[in-house]
Amino acid sequence: AQTVTQSQPEMSVQEAETVTLSCTYDTSENNYYLFWYKQPPSRQMILVIRQEAYKQQNATENRFSVNFQKAAKSFSLKISDSQLGDTAMYFCAFMNPPGGGSNYKLTFGKGTLLTVNP
């Protein structure tokens, strides 16, 4: 079974600085998908960024980028120019490759609570 590990339960960063959240996973599959979701306090969980394992290029969405190291099974999230609104719980998630009726399953890590300080 796939597992997702987020080793940092809590992190903090000063506004405008850069922070990196770590995520590792375990799988025997070669093709899969990885996601970072953000859950602000008392608010909806939203997708931040996603990465297809077959793509070598790291995904980027504005201030958010990932460092995808397939051999190391690592998928870290870098937030540049941190803003107060980035304060949230961040979840790393893994999705099985399609086929066999299992492409809908997301396996989540326990999350990292990020606090951006003014």
Closest CA to 64 of 45, 86, 44: 86
Choice from 74, 80, 108, 115 touching another protein (CB under 8 A):
108
82 versus 88: smaller Cβ distance to another protein: 88
How many residues touch another protein under the rule CB under 8 A: the total is 25
Cα gap 21→12, rounded to integer Å? 10
Joined tokens for residue 81: 């120019």
Choice from 111, 112, 114, 116 touching another protein (CB under 8 A):
111
Choice from 16, 60, 81, 98 touching another protein (CB under 8 A):
98
Cα gap 53→27, rounded to integer Å? 12
- First-to-last alpha carbon distance for the chain, in angstroms, is 41
Closest CA to 60 of 51, 52, 69, 47: 51
Per-residue x/- mask for another protein, residues 30 to 69, rule CB under 8 A? ---x-x-x-----xxxxx--x-x-----------------
- Residue 110 found at the interface with another protein (CB under 8 A): yes
Residue 82 CA: distances (Å) to CA of 78, 91, 114:
10, 17, 10
CB of 113 to another protein, least distance (A): 10
Interface with another protein by CB under 8 A: which residues?
4, 9, 33, 35, 37, 43-47, 50, 52, 91, 95, 98, 101, 103-111
